[in-house]
Amino acid sequence: MEKLLVFISLIYQANALVRPDGVGRLPALGWSSWNAYECDINASVILSAAEQVVELGLKDLSYEYINIDDCWSVKTHRDPTTNRMIPDPERFPGGIAGVASQIHDLGLKVGIYSSAGETTCAGYPASLGYEDIDAETFAEWGIDYLKYDDCGVPSTWADPYTSCIPDTANNAGPFPNGTCPNLANPAPKGYNWDSSPSATRFRRMRDALEAQNQDRVILYSLCNWGNAAVNTWAADVGNSWRVSGDISPGRGEVGAERVRIATWERIAEIANEMSFLVRDYAGFWGWPDADMLEVGNGEGDMTVAENRAHFALWAGMRSPLLIGTRLETIKEEHLAILKNPTLLTFHQDPHTNRPAYPYKWGHNADYTFDAAHPAEYWSGPSAALDGTLVLMLNSENVTSTRTAVWGEVPELRDAQRGHEEGYAFEVVDGWTGEEFGCVEGGLEVELEAHDMAVLVVGGAC
C-alpha cells in the first residue's frame, strides 16, 4: 500500500508545473485590488496597499504579492506600432513598470491581470492571440504574478460541451458519485478536457510565460471559475486555478453609499465546493483557488466569527490567501485574523504536500453536498506546526458545541500507534495560543454561529 502511495505521488509531481526559484510551489499570499476597489484603481491605491502590507506587519508574515486586478490599461486599443497594452496614463503616470519598481523597493512582488479572451471582464484589451507580446511586456515591466481570467472569449474558441460544476442553487453537486443532474450539453464519456479549447487557451499563456523564465519568473494563476473541468488539467498549466464564481456579486447600495457585499452564505457555498476537491487536486505547485478574501469587507454583514471561519477555511484548504480589503481602514479584529500565526504557518508549510480536508461532515451525513452546511470537521498534518491541525466549524445559525474526538481524526489515529491505552495529546488553541495541556479522548468547544475552532494537536502524552 505504501509503495502504491509513493508511486501515485510521483505521478502527481510529474504533472505539476514546477517553476524556477520555487515560484508557485506554495499557495500565494498577498493583497489584490479587486474586492476592495474593483475598477477604481490607480498607482497610489496600489502603492498605498503595498506600504500598508509592510507597516501592518503583514510582509513579515510572508504576504508578498500586491496584485493589480482588472482595469489598469487604456480601454480602447493597444499600441498600434508595438501591439502592446498601454498602461492608463492617468491612473498610472509612471506606467506599470514604475509602480512595480516601487513595490519591489519595498521588498514585495507585483501582480497583473489579463484574460484568455479578446477583452477582460470589465471590457479592457486582453491577451488571446497576443500571449507572447503580453508575457514579454509583463516580464519587462517586472511583473511577478499573472491572474488570467476567462472573459471575452470569441465563439471560435468556445468549448463544444459544458463541464460539470457544482450547482449550488439546486444543492446538486457532481460529487461524490459523479452525477451532474442539471447539466445541459454534457461532454460524452471519455471526452478529454485537456485538449479542449479552454485548456488550449490557458496553456498558450503558460508557454508564453515559461519562455520568459530566464528573465522573470511569473506565477501563473488561472481564473475560469471551475469551468471546462479545470481541476482535471490545471496542475501542469498553472500554479493555482479558481474553482468557482466570484466570492461576491460586487457592490450594493446601502443608503447613499455603494458598499462591498460579502456574505457568510457565499463563503459557505465555496467551502462546500472546495471540500470535495482539495483532497484530490491540491498539492505543491498546484492549488485550487477559493477566490480572494473578504475578511474585513461586508460593512457589518459578516460577524467577526464569520470572518474567522472564512480565513480558517481558506488557510486550511491552502487556497491562495489574497487580502481583498482596504488596509488603511481595516479594523484591529480583522487584521488579527489575517495575521494568525498558526493558520499562516499551516498554509505556508514547505514540508507538507497537502491541505486539510474533511474527516467528518458533522451537521450532515458524510459527503453530503450542502451549500449552507459544508463539512464541519477538517484535519491536516503539518510538519511546520509539528502536529495536526484540527478545524471545527459550527455551520448552524445558533451557538452550539462541536467535539473533536481524537480517535476519529486520521492523522491522530496514525500518531497513536504504539500508545494503545488511550488517545491523549498536547493541544493548543490556534486562535489564542492558549495551551490546553495533555487532553485525553477529545475536546469539546462552544462556538458562535458560523465560527470555527482551530486546534493544534501535538505529541501524544
Segment interacting with ligand GAL (CB under 6 A) among 19-27, 101-109, 116-124, 359-367:
116-124
294 is a site residue for ligand GAL (CB under 6 A) = no
Does the active-site annotation cover 289?
no
Among residues 54, 122, 183, 305, the one that binds ligand GAL under rule CB under 6 A: 122
Q: Verify binding: residue 223, ligand GAL, rule CB under 6 A.
A: yes
Shortest Å distance, C-beta 272 to ligand GAL: 19
Q: Site for ligand GAL (CB under 6 A): how many residues?
A: 10
Q: Which amino acid, 62?
A: S
Q: Catalytic residue at 149?
A: yes
Evaluate whether 38 touches 87 at the Cβ level (below 8 Å).
no
Q: Which is nearer to ligand GAL, 140 or 246 (CB)?
A: 246
Separation of CA 55 from chain center: 24
Sequence-ordered strand ranges (E) for 342-451: 357-360, 377-382, 387-393, 400-405, 424-429, 435-440, 442-447
Note the maximum CA span of the chain: 77
Q: Are 348 and 320 in contact (CB under 8 A)?
A: no
Q: Which of 64, 88, 131, 149 binds ligand GAL (CB under 6 A)?
A: 149
How is residue 66 written as a grid cell?
A: 500586491
Cβ closer to ligand GAL: 120 or 272? 120
Residue 289 interacts with ligand GAL (CB under 6 A)? no
> How far out from the chain centre does Cα 352 lie?
17
Residue number, 121 or 337, with CB nearest to ligand GAL: 121
Please report how close the Cβ of residue 146 comes to ligand GAL at its closest, in angstroms: 12
Q: Binding segment for ligand GAL among 4-12, 118-126, 353-361, 409-417 (CB under 6 A)?
A: 118-126
Cβ proximity to ligand GAL, 258 vs 419, nearer residue: 258
Judged by DSSP in three states, 91 sits in coil
**Is 175 an interacting residue with respect to ligand GAL (CB under 6 A)?**
no
Cell numbers given for 62: 510572508
**Catalytically annotated residue among 70, 134, 149, 150:** 149
Q: Among residues 17, 49, 121, 309, which is the contact residue for ligand GAL, using CB under 6 A? A: 121
Q: Which is nearer to ligand GAL, 202 or 361 (CB)?
A: 202
Residue 59 CA to residue 63 CA, distance in Å, equals 5
Interface with ligand GAL in residues 62-81 (CB under 6 A): 69-70
Shortest Å, Cβ 123 to ligand GAL: 9
Q: Contact residues for ligand GAL (CB under 6 A)?
A: 34, 69-70, 120-122, 149, 151, 223, 246
Residues with a catalytic annotation lie at 149, 246
